[in-house]
Every structure is written in C-alpha cells, then in structure tokens.
Amino acid sequence: MHRELKRDYHDFLLNLIPRHLLSEERIGSIIEALSRDERGTLVRESYLSMEELCRKGVFIKRGIRESGNRINIEYEEAGNQKRFTLEMNKSELKAVSPVKHEEDQKEFIPGVFAKIISALSLNSSRTVVGKVNKILSLTPRVKPNSRAFLVLNNKLNIVGTHSNKNICEKDIDSILENQLYGKVLKRKKLLIISDSLGMKKSFFELHNDVKRVVLFPLVSEGKKIGVLEIHCFNDEDIGKPTLLNFFILGQGIIRLLKNNIQLEQMVSVDKLTRVNNRNYYETQVPLELERASREKKFLGFLIMDIDHFKIFNDKYGHDTGDQVLRLIARTIKSHLRKIDLFIRFGGEEFVAVLPGANREAAMRTAERLRNVIEKTKFKTEDGRELNITISIGGSIFPVDARNQSELFKNADRSLLKAKRSGRNRVVFF
C-alpha cells in the first residue's frame, strides 16, 4: 500500500483480500467502508480484516516497521509466498489497533477447547495428519502472530502420521539427544527460548522474524509422545493465560493420538492372530513407501505362506488350523524388529515390511524366519506336535519396484516360484 493513497486500500478490500474467509460481520463492515470510500474507514477495515485472518491462521503477521511517522505492517499467507503490506501513519494505527491486555487471552480458552473437542472424534487413520494440523492451526487464536509445530516420537508407530512442514517424526533417541527437546522431555517442563543460538537447535526451519520459541512436553502415562513447538513472531511477553491455552493444545494432541491408537486396535488388528490386518496394510504401507522414497532408503517386502496349510484344516480340523495360524504369527513376530510391519494379509498368508532393509538384509531376515519355523516343534493345545514350514517371496523398493503395486506383485511372483520349486524356501525377485 502506498502511503496516503486511498485508492490502494479500496482496491485491496475490493479485489485482493480473501473475503470468503472472513466473518459475516467483517464482510458487512467492508461493504460499508467501500460505499463510504473514506480513507479512515478503508484503513480500519483493511487492518481489522488482516488481523482476523491472522487469528484464523490464514496469514501470519511478519512485523511492524517504523520510518518517521510512517508505519508498515507486513503479513504473509501461511504456507504460501503471498505478502501484503499495509501502510499508515502512527495516529491511524493507534485509532485502529486498541491495546489488548494479557488477560484478554482468557477468552480464547473456551473457543480453543471447543475446536479441539471437534477434532477428537474417532475416525479413519487417514485423517490423523489433518486432525493434528487442525489443532496446530488454532495457535494464532491463542496468540496472534504465532505458529505451531509438532516433534513426534516415531517409535510409537502411530498409524496415519508422517512428517510434513508442521510435523517432524524422529526416533526418541534423536529427540532426547537434541539439547532443546531433551531438556523439555526429561524435566517434563515447558521451556521459553528467546536467544537465537538456542532456537537454532530446532528441527524446523526458523523464519528470521521468530522472536521466541515455546516448547511443551507431550507425555502421557509415562510415554514420551513428543514436543509441541510454538514460534512467536513478536517480542511481547507470554503470560500465564496464553501458556494455559498452549497447554490445552498439547493435551488435545495427546488425546487425539491416543484416540487414534484405540481406533487402530479396534479396526487394524486381526482377532485370531492378534497381529495387524489388511486394513493396517492399506493405511500404513503407503506411508512407509513415502518415507522410504523421501529419505532415499530401501524397503524390504516379504510375502510368507504356510506350506500345505489345507492339510491341517482337513486332517485335524479348523480349530487346529486356527492354532497353527496363531503359533506362526507369534513366532514370526518375535523374530522381527520393532520397526518392522507384520500383517496377516489373508488366509494363511502374511506380509512383513522391513524399513531400511536392502536385498542382503531382507534375504537374511527371510531365511532366518524360514529356518526358525522349520526347526520349531509346534505343539497344539491337545499336545500334538506339528512340523510346519513356510515359503517366502521377496522384493525390494526401489530396486525391484517403483510403487506399492509392483512391490507386491513381484514378491508374490517370487512366492509362487518358491512354491513351485519345492516349498520351504526363500526366493527374491
């Protein structure tokens, strides 16, 4: 905006500002200001509209610059490069921006709490990232000109979460080794950082205008879930009411993630074998492939099939067949790493996904599993000893496949070769 040019403000309100994101009250005031076409009302509505958009998280106030009697207020669209600058004199700024005391932040508590509650309903894990981001987006309502991020412990294996611009997944050792986050989680106390040296330890990119970083530990029932990180873009002190609102945001995230874990236990665990099921496969494997592609790492993929499983059902009955499935699932799971995914894909077929495993590592794992099953004497509940073997087909991303469909097909073809060549063996694509 060029100083003293009324027309710039008129065009800004008429053509540039995203009015569809504003409240009805604000839109009504803008229409009235445009009809009056007076500089004072145009400046006021431009300022109040941008402040409302900041509270909603659509824009971030980047700072206020003074040059003599002239004031420049800079705004940047969240997640975009679009910027607006409002120019006015000091008396105009004083007229349009009444001072708000820290106690005024108390009014945000009910609204923030209501928004959090609306995000907590149990739903498909595919929406977890969206729900977390919804809670994070409430931050500007707690403190204007602030933005929230989440450092998440990836060893919790929370289905549906993945790293993005607002969420950083790290193993807990890396989090605790970081001086910034380790101090917060170990002491279970919030930390306010105002020195640039301390802020540089953040896992997130820090904008030059960040003045303070606030860290909240996310801990529940002894589990270190992660850290809520707030970036503040002004020098104002952060009082207790604001910190209380940030605490509520953190508790909302904890509750959301725990709800997700409960949901996954209900819909993603096979009732017979107590390992993950096909639903888990369809939600989690794409995320693992995305992570492997982003981090430029290998991903091992195994399909395992119990040899001659039909005989157990036909000869001993389906109860014995169910016992065989439970025994095999329990044995295989105990010989995989915690980060590996293990799924009952259907019938007597199981899938293992091995993050970071190249061909050599995946073949070693597959052969170890085959050997363990072959040498184990399985006892049924009525005391019968059964000799069980499995056949395994494997493929590696990205060497053998460019996507999930190819990865499965190539491993399945390898499994078929293992079956046709005598069973009880490992074949890789």
Query: Which residues are identified as catalytic?
Result: 348
Which residue reads 């170990």 in tokens?
Answer: 186
Q: How far apart are CA 3 and CA 297, in angstroms?
A: 54
Order of all β-strands in the sheet with 299-306: 341-346, 349-355, 299-306, 390-397, 426-428
- Which among 109, 363, 45 has a CA at the least distance from the CA of 243? 109
* DSSP label of 17: S
CB 139 within 8 A of CB 149: no
Q: Is 397 helix (H, G, I), strand (E, B) or coil?
A: strand
Please state, as a whole number, how many other Cβ atoms lie within 10 Å of the Cβ of residue 123.
15
Across 105-250, where does the E strand assignment appear?
146-153, 167-170, 191-193, 212-220, 223-232
| Residue 401 backbone dihedrals phi, psi, to 5 degrees | -155, 150
Q: How far is CA 39 from CA 34, 35, 36, 92, in A?
A: 10, 12, 9, 10
Read off the DSSP letter of residue 183. Answer: H
